Amino acid sequence: MSNTNSRTSQRQVRHARLRQKLSGNAARPRLAIFRSAKHIYAQAIDDAQGRTLAAASTLDEEVKKSLKGYTGNKDAAKAVGKAIAQRLTQLGIAEAVFDRGGNRYHGRVRALADSAREAGLKF
């Protein structure tokens, strides 16, 4: 069986296509999202220097404390969105470029984005 049609490889192709258009800098970093079955990760990346400015995930201790149990749901994504927005505002960054990582803008990805917007991040 060929691996070219797997869900992961299709997502990677979509993400590569998105990355041709998206790029972040120090003033407006790229907010990259990665979603697994159990966790969700977000990091703000300055592509000009190749540096991660801030990161948050369901594995962080402060995010874990706000969650009750399972980390692969919308509530967990909302907590991660709020955490990454707070960390970026502490760095003095108010805007970002949203990189959905080849995933549909739906469910946990949308919940994370909406939560980050509510916490004051613009994209």
Q: What is the CATH number of domain 7-118?
A: 3.30.420.100
Q: What is the pLDDT of residues 18-64, one digit of tens each?
A: 888 888 888 899 999 999 999 999 999 999 999 999 999 999 999 99
For residue 101, is pLDDT > 60? yes
Strand order in the sheet with 40-46: 51-57, 40-46, 30-35, 97-99
Question: CB-based burial of residue 55 (10 Å sphere; 0-12 exposed, 13-18 middle, 19+ buried)?
Answer: middle
Long-range contacts of 8-16 (CB under 8 A, 24+ apart): 10/102, 11/101, 11/102, 11/103, 12/102, 13/102, 14/102, 15/99, 15/101, 15/102, 16/102
Note the pTM of the prediction, 2 decimals: 0.88
The residues spanned by each domain of the chain are 7-118
For residue 103, is pLDDT > 50? yes
